[in-house]
Amino acid sequence: MLSTLTQALLPPGFAQPPAFTERSHAASVGFEPTALAAIQEAFAEELAVLNAAAAGGALPALKDRRFAAEAWRENRASHVLAQAYLASARALLGMADAVQADETTRARIRFAVMQWVDAMCPANYLALNPDAQRRLVASSGETLRLGMANLVADIQKARISHTDESQFEVGRNLAVTPGSVIYQNRLMQIIQYSPQTPTVHARPLVMVPPCINKFYILDLQPQNSLVAHLVAEGFTVFMVSWRNPLLSDGDGIHRATWDEYLREGVLQAIDVVREVSGQDQINALGFCVGGTMLASALAVAKAEGKEPVASLTLLTSFLDFSDTGVLDVFVDETHVQVREQQMAAGGLMPARDLASTFSFLRPNDLVWNYVVNSYLKGETPPPFDLLYWNGDSTNLPGPFFTWYLRNTYLENNLSKPGKAVVCGVPLDLGTLDMPAYLYASREDHIVPWQTAYRSTGLLGGPSRFVLGASGHIAGVINPPAAGKRSHWIGTETPQADAEHWLSDAVEHKGSWWPDWMTWLAGHSGRKVKPAATLGSDSYPPIEAAPGSYVRARAL
């Protein structure tokens, strides 16, 4: 029965956890009787108190932000409904936590129950939401008309709008740092940014963003652009702009592999930047999946007797995938095999599927909040550049995606010396002995910081680990002028255990950017007069930044 219930709760396309297969694990899942009884007793007590209050007593305060509007408190029936929902949600999630099973199975059950519980919130439905009803009456039906218009527009886009997208345009008010595309192939373009200081550091920096998203998260608007800040500080910056594969492309990019992305993408970009700058070694930064790709590519180069990078910066990146947090619930052997059958020989992993996955990691914040405000209340979400970028996602070639899924999230092969063979050589990340700056975000639900910290034990050179406040993106994009958040800096030689490192680390107010730029300057050489023109004789400018690849949208 529990197996049947769990299958029913799992979202479409969600692989059934191995622990629920009838042949091998049916008897391994159950409840400890006393724990279940305690949950039932607590639930019964909550309902008894609520029933007594509903009969005329004082109702408990509604502290959940989904019920913050006055209408929930003023409408007694709605107030009772909200309290009953919250009590039921606590009981169901408590039952999920009380399941006796292995950690993976319990996490998957809790995730499935959480999806169902969040979806059933009465605030999500017009017939049960007194605030939306009040607005409907006060506007003489205008909020319903606007909400339906918002819904139709999102259906046409096949995704939920998180911001007023009419307020942004790449190249107009996003990704506007001046520069030129100086190279392109079927996988990527390389942008060189124009110097803005009388002198620049001789050794340049190449930035490798994730190909799962577009590069301009690092170059949003001038006031929060990491690229613009670097250029203003006298660094010479190059950016990899990954192509967004489309079904209409006829050049076989849908068959591109992990190896090709490393060879024709990352390593080619490094070679171009070295030639243009005239430097034997350059500095390199990888963000998220871009960091995984960058470290892998450098391990390939090392195995081939090359050391093209003097320093390595990894921002919220996995090298060890032993604990990927909530993303673990999506990956098992069955799920990976299905994806391999679908697209290992070619095809695209659609951007909408990837975006939906990440949105449902935080359904209240990234799904139901917008359902309520946009569709039930007819509101236009406020303009927010980061959320515009989040909605401008990219497709991935099937062979690239399936190799990555199996060798990282499923089998964690990159952390095992010699286990993964890439570009014809066995990878060993421990051979990377250049200085490394490793940044992670403390509230990151995509790359848990404790797992990102494990990179300090995989890389062979000296490392500096810095932990920032906030999440996967907001923690990284934190310009100093904003005066927001804080960061923690520990010893130069990190300890083996992440929590021990944190216990000794010192919290510093504000952005981590100045600390990193001081570190980077120490690996960037002397100051020189910048070249009069961008590119070189071999790599002349092709078009103005941000280039054409970043403008292609996944539809």
Is pLDDT at 10 greater than 90 in this prediction? no
Residues 6+ apart with CB under 8 A from 388: 162, 163, 165, 167, 168, 174
Query: What integer pLDDT is reported at residue 104 of this predicted model?
Result: 83
Task: Provide φ and ψ at 498, rounded to 5°.
Answer: -60, -45
Please tell me the distance from the alpha carbon of residue 72 to that of residue 66, in angstroms, as a whole number: 10
HSE-up of residue 403 (Cα within 13 Å, Cβ side) = 22
| Residues belonging to the active site | 288
User: Which of 11-20, 333-342, 396-405 is predicted least confidently?
Assistant: 11-20
Local confidence band at 56 (pLDDT 50, 70, 90 cut-offs):
confident
CB 342 within 8 A of CB 319: no
269, 270, 276, 278 alpha-carbon torsion, rounded to 10°: -170
* Residue 116 or residue 493, greater confidence: 116
Task: Provide φ and ψ at 193, rounded to 5°.
Answer: -90, 145
SS3 314: strand
Is pLDDT at 274 greater than 50 in this prediction? yes
Is pLDDT at 7 greater than 80 in this prediction? no
For the stretch 20-25, contacts whose Cβ atoms lie closer than 8 Å and that sit 24 or more positions apart, written own/partner, are 20/105, 25/105
* Residue 405 or residue 103, greater confidence: 405
Closest CA relative to residue 134, chosen from 50, 216, 57, 73 = 73
Is pLDDT at 52 greater than 90 in this prediction? no
Please tell me the distance from the alpha carbon of residue 529 to that of residue 110, in angstroms, as a whole number: 58
The pLDDT tens digits for 451-477 are 999 999 999 999 999 999 999 999 999
Residues 24-31, mean pLDDT to the nearest whole number:
56
The pLDDT tens digits for 57-95 are 788 899 999 999 999 999 999 999 999 999 999 999 999
Query: What integer pLDDT is reported at residue 555 of this predicted model?
Result: 66
Tokens of 297: 């590519």
User: CA dist 523 to 4, 157, 202, 314, 437, Å?
Assistant: 58, 45, 10, 15, 11
Is pLDDT at 234 greater than 60 in this prediction? yes
Task: Provide φ and ψ at 463, rounded to 5°.
Answer: -130, 150
Task: Give the max Cα distance, the chain.
Answer: 83
Is pLDDT at 21 greater than 80 in this prediction? no
Residues 6+ apart with CB under 8 A from 284: 205, 206, 207, 208, 270, 294, 298, 309, 311, 312, 313
Query: What integer pLDDT is reported at residue 12 of this predicted model?
Result: 35
Do you find a cis peptide bond into 530, omega within 30 degrees of 0?
no
Tokens of 237: 């910056």
% of the chain exceeding 70 in pLDDT:
94
- Average pLDDT over all residues of the chain: 91
Residues 6+ apart with CB under 8 A from 11: 112, 115, 360
Query: What integer pLDDT is reported at residue 28 of this predicted model?
Result: 62
Is pLDDT at 133 greater than 60 in this prediction? yes
Please tell me the distance from the alpha carbon of residue 237 to that of residue 177, in angstroms, as a whole number: 11
Is pLDDT at 286 greater than 70 in this prediction? yes
Q: For the chain, what are the domain ranges?
A: 2-134, 139-168+351-383, 179-349+395-551
User: CA dist 104 to 20, 77, 93, 95, Å?
Assistant: 11, 39, 16, 16
Q: What is the 3-state secondary structure (H, E, C) of 173-201?
A: CECCCCEEEEEECCCEEEEEECCCCCCEE
Residue indicated by tokens 């199975």: 105
Residues 136-152, mean pLDDT to the nearest whole number:
97
Is pLDDT at 17 greater than 80 in this prediction? no
CB 340 within 8 A of CB 465: no
Residues 6+ apart with CB under 8 A from 136: 126, 143, 144
CATH node for 179-349+395-551 = 3.40.50.1820
Residues 6+ apart with CB under 8 A from 429: 295, 296, 299, 319, 414, 415, 417, 458, 459, 460
Q: Which amino acid appears at position 484 of this protein?
A: K
Strands 506-509 and 486-489: antiparallel
Please tell me the distance from the alpha carbon of residue 553 to that of residue 244, in angstroms, as a whole number: 7
Is pLDDT at 497 greater than 70 in this prediction? yes
Local confidence band at 533 (pLDDT 50, 70, 90 cut-offs):
very high
The string of DSSP codes covering 54-110 is HTTSPPPP--SGGG-SHHHHHSHHHHHHHHHHHHHHHHHHHHHHHEES-HHHHHHHH
* Residue 354 or residue 334, greater confidence: 334
